[in-house]
Every structure is written in structure tokens, then in C-alpha cells.
């Protein structure tokens, strides 16, 4: 692993800036709406939408969530170069707005609907993570071939 700072946010084009701010707003809405931790949304979104690697996504998520929970772990990610400061700041700004909007939506919502939304979101997240964790078909086939055809 390299010790230098890995940066995702080198591009300063308006589309990238918009995507990072939008991620913050959507995450904030889900935090306020479902009462979930932001990392459940941020890490998969940074990996799948922003194409960050897992370490950079986790480190940046900790930076965003720093005030409430991440100071100790953030230090380790920072030392390893796995925090994107600019993306973290922009997304955190979006989360403030989004959390307010999500709270305004959730408070008048029925308990049954809110429970359904929460469960559906968790299942969606689980499917995305499961799909990302599965080995690709060629890799799995070559592993079976190396084992002499044993599954």
C-alpha cells in the first residue's frame, strides 16, 4: 500500500462537484428520514457512484461523520492517505441540508411506512454489497480449475 495521499477529487469539474454535493444531500435525507448512520449510505455510494476504492470511501466517510463518531479511526485513515478532504467537506455540507429535509419528510410519515422504507433500504444495500463481494465468473472458474475441478 502506498503511503502517499490518494485523491479522488482531483477533478474540479462541475459534474463531479455536483455529484458529491448531491450525495451529501441524499445521504442527509436518508439519515433524517430513516435514522440510519450516514456511513451505510456514503460508503456504498462512494464506491459505486463516485468510483472510489473501499479504503478511500471509508476514510472519507469517517471524515464526514467526524464530529459525532469517527475521530479515533479517522486518524488512522488519514495517516495511511485514505481521506479526501475536499470531497468530505462538500458532502458534509450537503448532508446538513439533506438531514433537515429527511426529518421534515419522516416526522409526519406513518410508522408502518417508515419501517417499510427502512427495511427496503437495508435490503437494497445488502444486495449491492453482496453483488460487489461475489467473485467474477472467470476468476471463480480459474480457481476451480486450479483445484483440479473440485468446487
Q: Is the pLDDT of residue 23 over 80?
A: yes
Backbone φ, ψ for residue 49 (5° rounding) = -95, -45
- Indicate the pTM of the whole model: 0.57
Residue 150 C-alpha cell reads as: 473440485
User: Mean pLDDT, to the nearest integer, of 113-128?
Assistant: 86
pLDDT at 9: 59
Helices (H), 8-151: 14-34, 38-48, 54-64, 71-79, 85-106, 111-133, 137-146
User: Mean pLDDT, to the nearest integer, of 111-122?
Assistant: 84
- pLDDT, tens digit, 9 for 90 and up, residues 43-97: 888 888 888 888 888 888 878 886 655 566 677 788 899 989 899 899 989 988 9
Task: Map residue 53 onto helix, strand or coil.
Answer: coil
Amino acid at each position: 500500500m502506498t503511503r502517499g495521499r490518494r485523491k479522488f477529487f482531483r477533478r474540479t469539474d462541475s459534474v463531479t462537484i455536483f455529484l458529491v454535493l448531491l450525495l451529501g444531500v441524499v445521504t442527509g435525507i436518508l439519515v433524517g428520514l430513516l435514522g440510519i448512520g450516514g456511513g451505510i449510505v456514503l460508503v456504498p455510494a462512494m464506491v459505486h457512484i463516485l468510483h472510489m476504492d473501499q479504503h478511500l470511501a471509508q476514510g472519507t466517510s469517517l471524515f464526514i461523520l467526524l464530529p459525532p463518531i469517527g475521530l479515533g479511526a479517522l486518524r488512522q485513515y488519514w495517516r495511511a492517505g485514505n481521506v479526501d478532504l475536499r470531497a468530505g467537506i462538500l458532502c458534509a455540507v450537503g448532508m446538513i441540508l439533506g438531514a433537515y429535509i429527511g426529518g421534515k419528510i419522516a416526522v409526519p410519515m406513518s410508522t408502518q411506512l417508515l419501517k417499510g422504507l427502512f427495511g427496503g433500504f437495508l435490503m437494497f444495500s445488502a444486495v449491492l454489497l453482496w453483488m460487489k463481494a461475489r467473485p467474477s465468473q472467470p476468476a471463480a472458474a480459474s480457481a476451480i480449475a486450479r483445484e483440479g475441478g473440485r468446487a
